[in-house]
A and B are shown apart, each in its own frame.
Chain A
Amino acid sequence: MAAVTRPQPELDDLPASSPPIDPWAQIVQGFDGNRSDLVPVLQRAQSLLGYLPPDAVRRVARWLRLSESEVFGVATFYAQFRFTPPGRHHVRICLGTACHVKGGVQMLETIQRRLGVGAGETTADGEYDVERVACLGCCALAPVLTLDEAIHGQMSVLKLQGILDAEASA
């Protein structure tokens, strides 16, 4: 490993965070505390917490001996990281080339009209968050969107309305 391993600060030295991040030990498990661990640690934090609350950014910064602004700067550079809690349901709309050509924008607009929130936002009741992605990589199924784990291909405005209706009445 080329990067120098820094001495790790004791976790007990850190001020008690509020609210406490329970899976903290899980977040840093297996990492050496190198600068190059920053992105993977943030990824782990997000996968456990659902998003990056300010407290997580703070603790990661202290753990890696970086300033919070540095960590925040890196985190905001990458599209993967979110700083607000996700909704209970997660809608991803693909706006890649193939989906654009086949009407992906209309899917996004339909979602906006129905849920009242746009890409990068979460509905006020915390039910849905909406994300637009550049390509889900199943272009043969365009236009594509995902609702939680389910992939819905060859969508149309009407099919999407049907899916949202079914969800609403479920």
Chain B
Amino acid sequence: MRAATLVRHVDEALAKARDPRAYITDDGKAEIRICAGTACHSSGRPAVTAAFKEELATRALVDTIRVVETGCHGFCEQGPIVVLWPSGLFYPHVRPEDVAGIVEASIVNDGVLQKRLYKDPETKQRIAHEKEIPFYIGQRRRVLALNGKIDPYSIDDYLAHGGYTALAKVLTDNDPAGVVEEIRRSGLRGRGGAGFSTGTKWYFARSSHGEVKYVVCNADEGDPGAFMDRSVLEGNPHVVLEGMMIAAFAIGASEGYVYVRHEYQFAVDRLRKALAQARERGIFGDGVLGSEFSFDVRITEGAGAFVCGEETALMASIEGRRGMPRTRPPYPAVEGLFGKPTNINNVETYANVPWIINHGADAFAAEGTPTSAGTKIFSLTGKVANSGLVEVPMGASLRHVIFEIGGGMLPGHHFKAVQLGGPSGGCLPESLLDEPIDFESLAAAGSMMGSGGMVVVDDSTCMVDFARFFLTFTAEESCGKCAPCRVGTGHLVSILDAICAGKGELADLDRLERLARVVKSGSLCGLGQTAPNPVLSSLRYFRDEFEEHIVQKRCRAVVCRDLVVYRIIPGKCTGCQRCVQVCPTEAITGPRADAHNLDPDKCIKCGSCYEVCRFDAIAGDAILIESRGQHAD
């Protein structure tokens, strides 16, 4: 096909793909944007949407204002979130009973419902608009730009916001090698954790010979505490599909797979519907947008194995086998899925691709640091005031993310550590908060970028127990193929178990370090090679806590069950009997109005009495959990 004809074909096809009757967001019509991400759904989104629709119907406003369910707005802790457009008014924690008031104040009239606005936890000021909220001010939402704006079920909405124009551009330029070069020049690195240059990966896949090549999207987001990929898929599935398509065009593939966790039912559903729409409009399938390029995608639901996030294991799983990794080389770019050259990238990596094509490699590289270009999404959780999804330029400091965007610690909590990179990452202490977030700095500090989980913990988290938690997870998820990982992680757990139980010895710390190095260097895949990171980083920055457990048999965070005791403070107990009623083992006894007794031999340390005393009882603080070897009163 001649170039001019091709350009015309693609332009016509893209224009034809739009349905002029379909509604699009941002077309000037007023909108009520309700977050339909998983967290907002769990906190009551369906009832809120129904209430808005009903309220609009009652007031005969259905034709003048639209209710749109969008992808994740990111501020998950404030859910369900409702944003009014074009005013940009932001209403958090909306309950069905608030709806009438919001419609009356901000839709029928031009005001705000003051008492339902977001309240800054620090200044106690009410903030009306999304763009004025500190959580959003410090961010640079590029991949998430359309999340919270468009309807993920509407391809027309995506098209109206510039969707698939990057695809049209690469098809009309018709220079696959140029696309690979553009991505390489942008400095984009894999967002799944390892940070390998995406352009280089594409270059290898393009250089491999083969009639059949594959493009795979790794959406097996298994790290506990990470939900970046899910939010992108839920909020804007087309951007990922477009990125995959551009990759396929660049390397010469005609078939693709998205491997997504079956637990992510919303994401799977939206992805399937997006794909069906794109096929219907001639964007997927034979002769994409009237060109000679053909590409289609299948969706494979992962069946729940963490190791399948590793690329060779993931491909084995798609092939219908046990998801066990194999040695590399050959790399997937040479010999991948079904033995064919395969390019495999993470969700967020593909989601960056259309932006790079539309704005150019230089504009992409202008954000971030010289070695880590662009932005990165993090899921910020734990004891931080504002938990949710955060997108910042690479090179931003941890302090900026946690204390400015995240709003600092929850009231009354003191920062102890931030855990990055999930089970493969490590804990960093307060002294490293000014480190920039980029691949090299985090690795040098003993943690890693990982996929973007960021869990903030305070004094109530025991670092030994925390390291044990991650190791227990990786030990259980180890596929068992290689001995360093299968046996090594199990031993690391048993040493940590002993330390948590107060049965450790100082020599255990050297054993841990030595064994951790063996597991790191001897394991077959990334799971084993990174599994010891939580132990090594905790030993590096929080060694004193390990020593306390061993020498003083003391857990300062009062977490390790074998090292803590429950005690009733006689002077404070009013004898209200609430704790007696909830104790499952009858460990607490005592007549009404007299201070109760707690039998430590019967106590299973379940926490029921502590909780009931704090929230339900008259005294409020008569039950104390304390570590052995420490005295209070």
Which among A42, A79, A103, A156 has the greatest number of chain B C-beta atoms within 10 A?
A79
Chain B's nearest CB lies how many Å from the CB of A4?
10
Contact between B263 and A97, CB atoms less than 8 A apart: no
Decide if B317 is an interface residue (CB 8 Å cutoff): yes
Q: Mark A24-37, 1 if CB is under 8 A from B, else 0.
A: 00000000001111
Partner of A157, one of B43, B262, B317, B611: B611
**Contact, CB under 8 Å: A135 / B224:** yes
A62 CB to closest chain B CB (Å) equals 15
A141 engages B611 (CB within 8 Å): no
Bound-state CA distance A79–B301 (Å) is: 13
Q: Does A18 contact B (CB under 8 A)?
A: no
Query: Binary interface profile of B, 374-415, with partner A (CB < 8 Å = 1, else 0)?
Result: 000001011100011000000000000000000000000000
Smallest CB gap from B458: residue in A:
A101
B582 touching A142 by the CB < 8 A rule?
no
A137 close to B381 (CB less than 8 A): no
B interface, size bucket = 35 or more
Do A97 and B615 touch (CB < 8 A)? no
Q: Assess whether B322 is interfacial by the CB under 8 Å rule.
A: yes
For chain A, which range describes its interface: under 10, 10 to 19, 20 to 34, or 35 or more residues?
A: 35 or more
Partner of B611 from the list A34, A113, A158 (CB cut-off 8 Å) is A158
A140: contacting residue among B39, B338, B584, B615, CB under 8 A: B39
Q: How far is the CA of A37 from the CA of B317 in the complex (A)?
A: 10
> B530 at the A/B interface (Cβ < 8 Å)?
no
Query: Is the beta-carbon distance between B615 and A158 smaller than 8 angstroms?
Result: yes
Separation in Å of the A140 CB from the closest CB of chain B?
4
B277 at the interface (CB under 8 A from A): no
Q: Could you say which of A36, A79, A136, A139 has the most chain B C-beta atoms within 10 Å of its C-beta?
A: A139
Q: Are B455 and A35 in contact (CB under 8 A)?
A: no
- Interface-lining segment among A9-17, A70-78, A83-91: A70-78
A97 near B455 with CB under 8 A, answer yes
**Contact between B225 and A96, CB atoms less than 8 A apart:** yes
Is A97's CB under 8 angstroms from B301's CB?
no
Contacting pair B42 A141 (CB below 8 A): yes
Is A100 in the interface zone, CB < 8 Å from B?
Answer: yes
Pick the residue among A100, A138, A156 that contacts B38 (CB under 8 A). Answer: A138
Asked if A38 is at the interface of the complex by the 8 Å CB criterion, the answer is yes
Complex: chain A residue closest to B480, CB-CB: A77
B304 contacts chain A at the CB level, 8 A cutoff = yes
A153 with B42: in contact, given A101-B461, A161-B582 (CB under 8 Å)? yes
- Chain B residues, Cβ within 8 Å of A68: none
Query: Are the C-beta atoms of B76 and A40 separated by less than 8 Å?
Result: no
Q: Whose C-beta in chain A lies nearest to the C-beta of B257?
A: A36
Report the separation of the CA atoms of residues A142 and B456 in the bound assembly, to the nearest whole angstrom: 13
Question: Do B303 and A81 touch (CB < 8 A)?
Answer: yes
Assembly CA distance A27 to B170 (angstroms): 41
B346 lies within 8 A of chain A by Cβ: no
Question: How distant is A112 from chain B, measured CB to nearest CB, in Å?
Answer: 10
Write the A117-153 contact mask toward B (1 if CB under 8 angstroms, else 0). 0000000000000000111111111101000000101
Could you give 11 example pairs across A and B, Cβ below 8 Å?
Answer: A77-B479, A78-B305, A79-B304, A80-B304, A97-B419, A134-B306, A137-B39, A139-B387, A140-B381, A157-B607, A161-B608
Query: Given A36-B319, A43-B301, A43-B303, 16 more contacts at CB 8 Å?
Result: A36-B320, A37-B320, A38-B321, A80-B304, A97-B382, A97-B455, A98-B455, A100-B224, A101-B461, A101-B466, A113-B606, A135-B222, A137-B39, A140-B381, A141-B42, A158-B608
Chain A interface (Cβ within 8 Å of chain B)?
1-3, 34-40, 42-43, 73-74, 77-81, 95-98, 100-101, 103, 106, 109-110, 113, 133-142, 144, 151, 153, 156-158, 161
A-B CB proximity, top 4 nearest: A96-B224, A78-B303, A79-B304, A38-B320
